[in-house]
Amino acid sequence: MYELVSPINTYAVAKYIGYLLMIFALVLTVPVGAALLLGDFSSAYYYALTSIITGMLGFAIYKVLPEYELETKDAIVLAALAFPLISVVSSIPMSLTTGMPFIDAFFESVSATTTTGLSVAPTDAGPVFLFSRAWSQWVGGIGIILIALSVFVNPGASAFRIYKAYSGEKPIKPTVVSTTRLIGKIYVAITVIATAILLLSGMSLFDAIAHGLSSVSTGGFSTRPGSVGEFGHILVPLTIAIACIMGAINFELYPEVLKNPKKIAENLELRYFFIIAGIGTLIFTFSILQDPGIQLGTTEIAFQVISALTTAGFSTLDMSVLPDSSKAALSGLMWIGGSIGSTAGGIKIFRLIVLAGLIRFVFLRFFLPKETVTPFRIRGRIIENDEMYQITVFVALYVVIVIVSTYILMLHGIGTENAIFEVSSALGTVGLSAGVTDATMPSILKLVLCFDMLLGRIEIIPILILFMPRTWIQGAR
Q: What is the DSSP letter of 475?
A: T
pLDDT tens profile 79-128: 889 899 999 999 999 999 999 999 999 999 999 999 998 999 988 888 99
Residue 476 has a pLDDT of 58
pLDDT at 165 over 70: no
pLDDT at 338 over 60: yes
CB 430 within 8 A of CB 345: yes
Residue 150 has a pLDDT of 60
Task: Please compute, for residue 107, the number of CA atoms within 13 A of its CA located in the half-sphere on the CB side.
Answer: 25
Q: Using CA atoms, how far apart are residues 278 and 269, in angstroms rounded to an integer?
A: 14
Closest CA to 160 of 238, 72, 226: 72
Residue 4 has a pLDDT of 46
Percentage of the residues of the chain whose pLDDT score is greater than 90: 45
* Beta bridge pairs of residue 382: 377
pLDDT band of 29, cuts 50, 70, 90: very high
Residue 1 has a pLDDT of 44
For residues 167-193, give the mean pLDDT: 76
pLDDT at 162 over 90: no
Q: Using CA atoms, how far apart are residues 291 and 302, in angstroms rounded to an integer?
A: 18
With both helix axes pointing from N to C terminus, report the angle between 10-27 and 29-37 in degrees, rounded to the nearest 10: 20
Residue 470 has a pLDDT of 81
pLDDT tens profile 242-294: 889 988 988 888 888 878 888 888 888 899 999 999 999 999 999 988 877 77
Count of C-beta atoms within a 10 Å radius of residue 318: 14
pLDDT at 42 over 80: yes
Return the higher-pLDDT residue of 322 and 3. Answer: 322
- Residues in the chain, overall count: 477
Q: In this structure, which amino acid lies at residue 175?
A: T
- When mean pLDDT is compared across 2-6, 319-323, 364-368, the lowest value belongs to 2-6
Q: Phi and psi at residue 279, in whole multiples of 5°?
A: -65, -40
For residues 165-183, give the mean pLDDT: 68
Q: Using CA atoms, how far apart are residues 247 and 300, in angstroms rounded to an integer?
A: 20
Residue 19 has a pLDDT of 86
For residues 54-75, give the mean pLDDT: 88
CB 42 within 8 A of CB 97: yes
* C-alpha of 4 from chain center: 27
* Beta bridge pairs of residue 377: 382
With both helix axes pointing from N to C terminus, report the angle between 298-309 and 235-248 in degrees, rounded to the nearest 10: 20
Residue 151 has a pLDDT of 61
Computed over every residue of the chain, the mean pLDDT equals: 86
Euclidean distance between the first and the last CA atom of the chain, given in angstroms as a whole number: 12
Residue 414 has a pLDDT of 94
Q: CA-based angle 469:472:477, to the nearest 5?
A: 30
- Domain boundaries, given as residue ranges, for the chain: 1-161
- When mean pLDDT is compared across 199-208, 362-371, 407-416, the lowest value belongs to 362-371
399 Cβ partners below 8 Å, 6+ apart? none
CB 219 within 8 A of CB 135: no
For residues 439-458, give the mean pLDDT: 94
